[in-house]
Structure 1
Amino acid sequence: MATMSASDTGISFARLTAVDPAAIIAHMSDPRVTAHMPLATGAWDRERCAEFVATKEASWARDGLGHWAILCDGDYVGWGGFQKEGAEWDYGLVLLPERFGLGARITRKALAFARADPRIPYVTFLLPPSRRHLRGLDRLGARLIDRIDYEGSEFLKYRLDTA
Structure 2
Amino acid sequence: MPPEITFTRLSEVPAETIRDHMSDPRVAEHMPLLTGDWDLETAQRFVVAKEAIWARDGLGHWAILADGVYVGWGGFQKEGEEWDFGLVLRPEAFGLGLVIARRALDLARDDPSIPYVTFLLPPSRRHFGALARLGAQEIGKVDLAGAQFLKFRLQTPPKVAVVHEDS
Is TM > 0.5 for Structure 1 vs Structure 2?
A: yes
2:18 pairs with 1:11: no
Q: Which amino acid aligns with 1:117?
A: D
Task: Work out the percentage of aligned pairs sharing the same amino acid.
Answer: 64
CA distances 1:38-85 after superposition (whole Å, capped 9, x unpaired): 000000011111111111011000000000000111111000010110
User: Which amino acid is 1:66 matched to?
Assistant: G
Distance between the aligned counterparts of 2:144 and 2:104, measured in 1? 23
Instruction: Give the Cα–Cα distance (whole angstroms) in 2 for the partners of residues 23 and 144 of structure 1.
Output: 33
Could you tell me which residue of structure 2 aligns to residue 87 of structure 1? 81
Give the secondary structure class of the aligned counterpart of 1:26.
helix
Where has structure 1 moved over 4 Å in runs of 4 or more? none
Q: What's the counterpart of residue 53 of structure 1?
A: 47
Match of 1:157 in 2: 151
How large is the RMSD of aligned CA atoms in angstroms?
A: 1.1
The within-5 A match list for 1:28-107 is: 28-107=22-101
1:140 to 127, 134, 148: 134
For 2:142 and 2:150, the matched residues in 1 are separated by 6
2:112 matched to 1:126? no
Given the alignment of the two structures, is residue 110 of structure 1 paired with residue 104 of structure 2, yes or no? yes
Pairwise CA distance, 1:20: 0.7
1:69-103 Cα offsets, whole Å, 9 max, x none, are 00111111000010110100000000010011111
> Aligned residue for 2:160?
none
Separation in structure 2 between the aligned mates of residue 28 and residue 81 of structure 1, nearest angstrom = 16
- Gapped regions of structure 1 (runs ≥ 5): 1-5
Match of 1:23 in 2: 17
- What is the number of equivalent residue pairs in this alignment? 157
Higher Cα Rg, which structure: 2
Deviations 1:105-127 (A, max 9, x none): 10110011111111110000000
RCO (CA 8 Å, sep 6+): is it higher in 1 or 2?
1
CA distance in 1, matches of 2:77, 2:53: 7
> Residues of 1 paired with 2:134 and 2:103: CA distance?
12
